[in-house]
Each structure stands twice: as C-alpha cells, then as structure tokens.
Amino acid sequence: MTHPGNGLPTSAYRALGLVCNPFTPWAPDKGDTIGLALSTRAASSRLISALLAASAEERSRPVWVDKTAEASTFLSVLALAEVLEVLTEDTSYGVMPTYVQLQSMKGGRVRGALGAVAEKVAGSRVDLTLAAWTREALAEPDTALAEWAPLASADLGALLDLLRDDPAKASEEIYGVLKPEREGVRQDLEMLMRVSAARQERQEQEPEAADEDDGEEDLTDPAGEIFATPLAIPDAEDEPEGPHRVGGPHGPEAVDVAAYVVAYTKEHLSPVVARGIRVYVAQGTSAMSQDLKVTKAPRKTLGALARFACARYDKVALIWDRFDIWPMMEPDMRVKITTSLAETRWALADHGVMAILSRPGEAPELEEQFAAAGRVDWDMPHLSDVEPRGSAYHDAVVRHWLASAALDGARVWTTDDEPFATLAKERAGSIEEFCAAAAAAVDSAAARGDGAFADEDLAAGLAAAAAAEG
C-alpha cells in the first residue's frame, strides 16, 4: 500500500530505518492540526515498531504499552485507532491486528480472543487469505487424501500462478464472490445471530486444556451444518453457472479444488476452520465469522485460525485493552485471567504476538507475569506546545517524532543529522513549515532507496517549503 498523499509504498521508508514518514499524518484529511496528527502518529508508530520487532522473533515476545498519565484517554484512543487502521489497511507490514477488550472474557477467557480473531479473519479480505492458503495446500499437496484424486491429472501450474498473481480473481473462481451475506442470508441475518449464540452457549465456557484433546468439533451439535447449507440458489454473481475450470482449459474443476482444500484443512489444520471455509462458500463472511466461534477446544481453534491467517500475514497481533476494570475484579478472577492470557499467548504459538495496553500500576499482577515484555510508552511530550495551528518549531518534539518512527534496532535520526539540521535552521518559522520540508526530504530519500540522506533530499525539502509559501 502507498502512504497517503505521496504515492510511495510504506516499505520504502524501512530502508531508512523508519516505520513510516514521521512528518506525514496517516490521515491528512481528518482535519487534525499537524501537531496532534504527528504526535498521534508517533505513538502509533512506537507500537507498530514493537509489534514488528516481536513478530520477527521465533517465539514472539509480548508487548506492554504504558498509557502514561501525560497522554489523556482521548489521545490513547486516537493512537490505538490509528494502529488498528494502519495495520488493517496496509498489509505490507505483515501484521493482522485484532482488538480485544478485557470484558470480552465474560464469554470465556480464551473464547473472547477466539471470537475477536474469528471476526477479524472473516472480515479482513478472507478471499485473499483463502487464496494464500489454497496455494499452500496445492504447492505441497497431500496426495493421500481421496479429494486429491480429481486434481492429480490436472495442470496446476497456471492455477498456482493465478493464486500468486491475482489472488482475488482466483479465490472468486474457486469459492465465489467475496460477500458478507450470500443470497437468502440477508433476509435471515437476525436468525443467523440467534442460532450462532445458541450454538456457542452449548459449548463449555472454560474447558480445561486437557479436555481439548478430544478434538474441536461438537459432533452432537444439531445445528452443526446450518451455516454450511446455501439458503437459496446462488445467483450468477456469486457462482458461475455450471462446472468450470480454473487456471486455464487444462486446469482443475473449481469444485474439486474447493473440496480438496476443505479436506486438506480438516486433516492438517482444523475441522472448525475447514467447516468455516464451507460456510463462506455457502453463506458468506458473516456466517463464517460466527461459525468459527463454535468449537469444543477454543485454544486449538485459536491457534489454527492464527496459522490460517498467517498464510497471508506474518503474525496475528492480539491487542488487549480496557484494563481500567482490573482493580474492581476479585483477586481469584485476576489470577485466572492472568493465567488465561499466558495460555492464549502459547496457543498462538509461532503465529501471533500479544500486546497489552494498560496505565502504569493498573494491573500489577499482569505486569509481573509479563515483566519480560517489550515496553512501549505512549507519552506525547510537549503536545500543548505544538497542537495549536501556527505553533512555533519545537526541537524536542521533532526529536521525539523521529525517535518514535525508528524501527527496532535501527539508527535513530535526530535534528543534528542532515537534512533535518539545516531545515531546522532555515525552515523553523512554524511547526507546519518545518514538517512540510522534512516530509518532502524523507520522501526523497525513501524514493531513492539507498538508506541514506543526500543533498538532493535537502533540496527537495527546501523546494517543498518554498512551494507551500507560494
């Protein structure tokens, strides 16, 4: 994805050791002042950088975010919203963000996280995730499966290329058009939600880890197939008429590919995820998001969903929030939740990273449990000095913005470095003037891609500032 306003891919900034351009707001059309927008950007960048660093580890270390007293609740909400929006819209970061509030645990301490991940997987272009998973299943096929037989003599090369080069088209040809509700579901959406709630209530809320060895599927569920059954004859938009081949005239039949992938998923990943794929084909993403929550083994299904998502992403990030209710909980409940969060982390295995957002001292038991977590401070120093429009250049704030945008372990650029040192002298009339120049300089260096700043970047910054004046 390109950065708003300049056409550069966000990955271009990584050569400079930056998460993003620290002087360009994520959403320039929101109308925030440059001081507020870039302070929010700095806070969100610190968490994104920490998540990327944790994601690079074989066994992801959790991330602890201190929502400091200096940053009001409103500002923390702005930063959190930006993190979720950036990572959702810009998949080049490779992290699927999933927001989970602590109170969701009232439906089950692991099931709360499972429900959030199920909805995120189904609601975040699951057609592209399915395409990536399908490519995995076909690239190294399980030839022992009976469902492989119809594919054995087909030419899969063109289909594999299509799955790589145009995953949306490939997914549509195999599984149908990406839709929240397919034909017949929209009229019964309220019933869908009621049935989903009833099916979830049948499941044990807090199964022991040892009990999950019996498997994920509830074979006694009387409504086990209700979402996997089409509610109407698919229209032409959902499904092409009659059998059709994918990947060219010698490619396999689409229905055979779908059947094989479902069987492969059931055998190698999860029967619940396999059923979820069938539900997507039959009724769409809304039903899929609900069906994925129905499991006897929430830990197993959570781990399987994270693995499924990682066919497309590097990691799934569980971002836990709203620990303001922690002090009101009974001590034994705090212990159970602390244990469950640790279990959730291990359930994600190599496919997830966990972040906890809390004010200092708000949840001491959790702080002790996650003492080894990477730390992020969501402070916004001197915000009042730069928030009003036309505020004067503030060196400490600019240094903070530059440091916040640095990738973990990368060089931290400062206003002592060029081109920022010269821009601070020549274009420091206001914070807006400096940021316009600095943003252009960073873009110039990122576009060149050599990981350094040069005289031409300073020239680009000065020219941008001059153009803004004119």
Query: Is the overall model pTM greater than 0.85, yes or no?
Result: yes
What are the tens digits of pLDDT across the range 176-235? 999 998 876 666 667 777 887 888 888 888 787 655 666 787 776 777 787 888 876 666
Omega into 419 within 30° of 0, i.e. cis? yes
CA 171, distance to chain mean position in Å, is: 20
Separation of alpha carbons 419 and 439, rounded Å: 11
Residues of the chain with pLDDT under 70: 1-7, 69-71, 184-189, 209-214, 220, 232-243, 470
Q: What's the first-to-final CA gap in the chain, in angstroms?
A: 31
DSSP track, 229-257? S-SSPPPTTTS-SS--BSSSTTSPBHHHH
Amino acid sitting at position 347 = A
What are the tens digits of pLDDT across the range 434-454? 999 999 999 999 999 999 999
DSSP track, 107-132? G-TTHHHHHHHHHHHHHTTHHHHHHH
What pLDDT is attached to residue 258?
97
